[in-house]
Structure 1
């Protein structure tokens, strides 16, 4: 066989979740970083194929962290201060953060704000196999008005400047555009409901992004900040901690996505740890937690399409899945949200699923997540682009992949 000839690998375990349903005894035939087919060993492990048998494990698609950052660590506090630190400081941290993400089973991540072109550079370095991490979909700096949540490195307001800002990000190679239409939990002087931008400004951002084939995601928690975003064509609402009945109805009618980010809010190593000494922030944490806990049934019943993000809680994607199950979702629904829905949100049907033609990105779990969702923390292996990137002892390797 020539050195560059395709090599077939059949990966098998007790069960497989393909992004749609559980399949007993099926495995994956992989070639050149893609899934060739899904089926039994007898049907697919053709002569010459290398067989990798994980015994009683369960295979699931690689997790899609649909809202995170490369450089921020919420548990260290002052997230706005972190994002304006020197590029070298941020880059060093980014290497470890991305390693943690991949080790936890995240094979694709949607990056929602970075400075210094760090997300662009990491995206391309990962694709070349120069450093380890998930596939990245990047936006560059988020758009927020001067003084608004997310504007630590400088704000942008007004139709003309906003259109120019979108153009600059698109020409740099952004995969999507991120804006802030409300304040945030982790900032002191910002509202979680009032809109940072007018409807005219949001519409200009959405139209400008569409000219480059890009969709727009909006950091928004509730109130007019959500309603104006939805009314003017935003693709997804990020966080949504204070969604009221009107917000939810508007999103359901428009088909607007919701990206839940509960780890940063509820996990003790999130905002609670990093900003414990800031009374104004902790008051927002308590407010948001109480509202989410009381409102989660309404969100679930609405049928709004939903994906999941850790918002920089690197290595804790499993907590997002666990939180959903503890709040009424079935393990199947949680796994769909963390895999296939993430791919649908970012507009790539070959991500978050295991079917012919899809990226061979998958996680091997030692236990069955359908029986106990905490099995998502028990990772035996992670494959990205058909190659093993994480082994059972947690060792992480860089994987080159053609394209993104």
Structure 2
């Protein structure tokens, strides 16, 4: 059958005049997160993947538009976890054998499962701060293409360490199989290798850089506090990363190592257990963010009580360092250090991320401060405030909701009932 040009033009005109349905979210409360304010009886209109309008009062659109009734809920920006390891999860003694028994594909498939759990818990954006084989890069790409469901991922891919340092992947292995990992594997010694490791991360597709400036808790190495980079190495990493537009997240427990990193100009300190007043002053001077990960500290401290759960080198570190992070957060908050939300999920279970809100409030933060740490400040940390982190017109429609008012009961943040990312609803209250 021959179709005339006139018929084609007529069909095209019909298509062009069709109204694309919008979503009208009627929320009993709204936390925009651009300040400490709470709004009541608000309608947020989502058109495509963006927030197009915000109305005071309950508004409905046309017949084709969808209405989401959240009148008994509090709506807020999609939550942001700034410290995760989305392709792994610690499961006790067996976890230390996985690097010998699992392949890259195994980690990637685990990541698909953990990413969806994270999204359904209300976390629409995460930073992934270290993996084994750059599998989080593939996971990020698959999510961005719509192949699998998960949060927006900003990944550091493989962390950068020094020989024998936290994140040297050969720690705890027999010397005959250790080899001599270098910048390609994220292990450096000296300025030239530091620069090469950053450039390799860029080549691998990482969004940011993660370094381990001090010893760590779960690595099979004696010290959890000692500094593990020299000043010139740190400066080379920072300068090179900035050339490539990459921020720098820093694992650090010990005071000396984290202060060296702050002075070099890194973006955030993770964990930060042995910070003190001098460290707080330095971080405020350099506008360095602090990502506490209190959940991880609590988790490792509890597991250290179980015989055989951790290797004997790890157990005393977990028992000593873990319980201190809550107090560190309290002191940092009182000192006025900028704080962004992070859990270190992958140590504890993915999907349990919301517990960190409860612990942040226990440390002395107001509920609105904890929520803004996981929205506004998360977006600020990753330089995404133009797109994410607050409920404003023109920003991406990443929105979550909980029943009631979390400013009255912060535990509600562990029970997210509505999740929208990029304008698509992934979870909604039962009718």
Same fold per TM (> 0.5)?
yes
Q: Is the 8 A contact 1:177 1:217 kept in 2?
A: yes
Query: For residues 269 and 299 of structure 1, do their structure 2 counterparts lie closer, same or farther at Cα, with a shift above 3 Å needed?
Result: closer
Q: Deviations over 1:320-339 (max 9, x none)?
A: 10101112111111111111
Question: What is the 5 A alignment of 1:123-134?
Answer: 123-134=140-151
The equivalent of 2:274 in structure 1 is 242
- CA deviation after TM superposition for structure 1 residue 241, in Å: 1.6
The equivalent of 1:377 in structure 2 is 414
- CA deviation after TM superposition for structure 1 residue 96, in Å: 1.3
Q: Which has the larger radius of gyration?
A: 2
* 3-state secondary structure, aligned to 1:148: coil
- CA deviation after TM superposition for structure 1 residue 188, in Å: 3.7
The equivalent of 1:22 in structure 2 is 38
Q: Is the 8 A contact 2:128 2:155 kept in 1?
A: yes
Name the CA distance, whole Å, in 2 between partners of 1:40 and 1:75: 47
Question: What is the 5 A alignment of 1:3-402?
Answer: 6-19=20-33, 20=35, 21-41=37-57, 45-47=60-62, 49-77=65-93, 81-82=97-98, 85-152=102-169, 154=181, 155-267=187-299, 272=304, 276-311=309-344, 312=346, 313=348, 314-349=350-385, 350-392=387-429
- CA deviation after TM superposition for structure 1 residue 269, in Å: 10
- CA deviation after TM superposition for structure 1 residue 79, in Å: 5.5
Query: For residues 295 and 110 of structure 1, do their structure 2 counterparts lie closer, same or farther at Cα, with a shift above 3 Å needed?
Result: closer
- CA deviation after TM superposition for structure 1 residue 382, in Å: 0.6
* 3-state secondary structure, aligned to 2:197: helix
Bigger Cα displacement from structure 2, 120-129 vs 168-177? 168-177
Q: Is the 8 A contact 1:74 1:271 kept in 2?
A: no
Q: Deviations over 1:307-365 (max 9, x none)?
A: 12121231112111010111211111111111111111111012221111111111121
The equivalent of 2:178 in structure 1 is none
Q: Deviations over 1:218-259 (max 9, x none)?
A: 111122110110111111111112212222221121111111
- CA deviation after TM superposition for structure 1 residue 156, in Å: 2.0
Q: Is the 8 A contact 2:252 2:269 kept in 1?
A: yes
Q: What RMSD over aligned residues (CA atoms) do the two structures have, in Å? A: 2.3
- CA deviation after TM superposition for structure 1 residue 270, in Å: 7.6
Q: Is the 8 A contact 2:131 2:159 kept in 1?
A: yes
- CA deviation after TM superposition for structure 1 residue 115, in Å: 2.8
Q: Is the 8 A contact 1:75 1:271 kept in 2?
A: no
* 3-state secondary structure, aligned to 2:351: coil
* 3-state secondary structure, aligned to 2:161: coil
Name the CA distance, whole Å, in 2 between partners of 1:143 and 1:197: 10
Q: Is the 8 A contact 2:125 2:151 kept in 1?
A: yes
The equivalent of 2:175 in structure 1 is none
Q: Deviations over 1:65-115 (max 9, x none)?
A: 101112221243565654563112212211111111011101001011123
